Structure 1
């Protein structure tokens, strides 16, 4: 069954409408008609079984026939990452992380960041598409980019890690350092890595150094690897 995203579902209303983009996709691309069954999610864990009442490419209307609520996962993953110079790489990370499973993605500008401007509109569309593709009912939160120090002030998760390889002794792997059913935050630095001052700021804020494996990883690969490792230990 086709899954659509409608963040503005109003409880109690018998007839709802898809967004203009989803209406066009439903009618023009999928060629759905009146009476066809669809599934709709609000991105907050609610999934609705519905039937199309009006097959209009600008304002496709549907009628809800059943509601199912998915509880949040017993753990949560937040990746804080510096945007890459080539934005395609961050778009790739968002798509794959949403498919794998993630609750929040936060962006920051570090001392060595090569990209200093980030627009969330396209990234949010990629996240929505990945949520629908993987048939999930939760849309992860995407936070606008902040300076590194300001971003640290927003951290509330208890298990805090920074992916960094010091020159002397390698730290413990993230999969061994993290404990199951936790609330995690992992910091992933820019292409030029974290500045020493930023590493000290993170340690002072309660972050532990971890490794993601023996190989040197690109920013987007490191971010996805951290996400995958935390999902894996919670299987």
Structure 2
């Protein structure tokens, strides 16, 4: 099954008009024609089955035959991750995290961050592609980048973890501390790790230090390990 994404479609609609780029892909690449069925999501949990009633390179129109809302995941994971120096590595994280099933992402600019500016428009396209590839129906929330201190000032419900590389007698494995069917926010630092000041500030504000294992991981790898840990904990229930 191939999934299409259209954020403006709602459950009460009878027809959907695909944008030009999507129409071009449907008509010229996939060679779809009138009468063919397409699956579509609006990224809000809805899956639509549609039938093409008009197909062309500039505009495709489909009749909505049925719609069904899928149940959300039994947990909510917010990943706060420092952007990597190389954009493609952060985009890889976005892609894989979406495939695994992250619900919210915030780029966090830290003391040791080498990349201070990110392009959310490009990140949105990566998320959209991953959503369609993985056949998910819920689009992750992608927040504007914040400084580390700004992020800590926000209200965060549920468990709060900071995964850092410094020696810490109080660090436990994330897999031992993360609760199933709950809400959690996990902070992942830049290539040079969080600064000692950032770690201490997070602890003062109630963030629990955790380890992701014995290996020293790249930023994007650590973020994926955290996402996968949350998914596995909830799937094992």
Where on the TM-score scale, by shorter chain, does this alignment land: which range?
A: over 0.9
What is the distance in 1 between the residues matched to 2:168 and 2:42? 48
Secondary structure of the equivalent of 2:98?
Answer: helix
- Residues 195-206 of structure 1 correspond to what in structure 2 (within 5 A)? 195-206=195-206
Deviation, structure 1 residue 149: 1.0
- For residues 166 and 60 of structure 1, do their structure 2 counterparts lie closer, same or farther at Cα, with a shift above 3 Å needed? same
Deviation, structure 1 residue 108: 1.1
* TM-score, scaled relative to structure 2: 0.95
1:98 alignment partner in structure 2: 98
2:222 alignment partner in structure 1: 222
- Residues 1-235 of structure 1 correspond to what in structure 2 (within 5 A)? 1-169=1-169, 171-235=171-235
What is the distance in 2 between the residues matched to 1:134 and 1:190? 27
What is the distance in 2 between the residues matched to 1:85 and 1:104? 21
What residue ranges of structure 2 are gaps of 5+ in the alignment? none
The answer on whether the counterparts of 2:165 and 2:193 sit within 8 Å (CA) in structure 1 is: no
Deviation, structure 1 residue 155: 4.0
What is the distance in 1 between the residues matched to 2:58 and 2:154? 39
Deviation, structure 1 residue 87: 0.6
What is the distance in 2 between the residues matched to 1:141 and 1:135? 17
What is the distance in 2 between the residues matched to 1:167 and 1:234? 29
The answer on whether the counterparts of 2:111 and 2:195 sit within 8 Å (CA) in structure 1 is: yes
Q: Describe the superposition over 1:21-51 as per-residue Cα deviations: whole angstroms up to 9, x where unpaired.
A: 2111111111100110001100000010100
Secondary structure of the equivalent of 2:7?
Answer: coil
What is the distance in 2 between the residues matched to 1:30 and 1:222? 37
Q: Describe the superposition over 1:48-87 as per-residue Cα deviations: whole angstroms up to 9, x where unpaired.
A: 0100111122221111000100121110111100100001
Deviation, structure 1 residue 205: 2.2
Secondary structure of the equivalent of 1:234?
Answer: helix
Aligned alpha-carbon RMSD (Å)? 1.3
How many residue pairs get aligned? The number is 235
- For residues 101 and 10 of structure 1, do their structure 2 counterparts lie closer, same or farther at Cα, with a shift above 3 Å needed? closer
What residue ranges of structure 1 are gaps of 5+ in the alignment? none
Q: Describe the superposition over 1:189-229 as per-residue Cα deviations: whole angstroms up to 9, x where unpaired.
A: 01111112211221122210000010000000000000000
The answer on whether the counterparts of 1:165 and 1:171 sit within 8 Å (CA) in structure 2 is: no
What is the distance in 1 between the residues matched to 2:109 and 2:12? 43
* TM-score, scaled relative to structure 1: 0.96
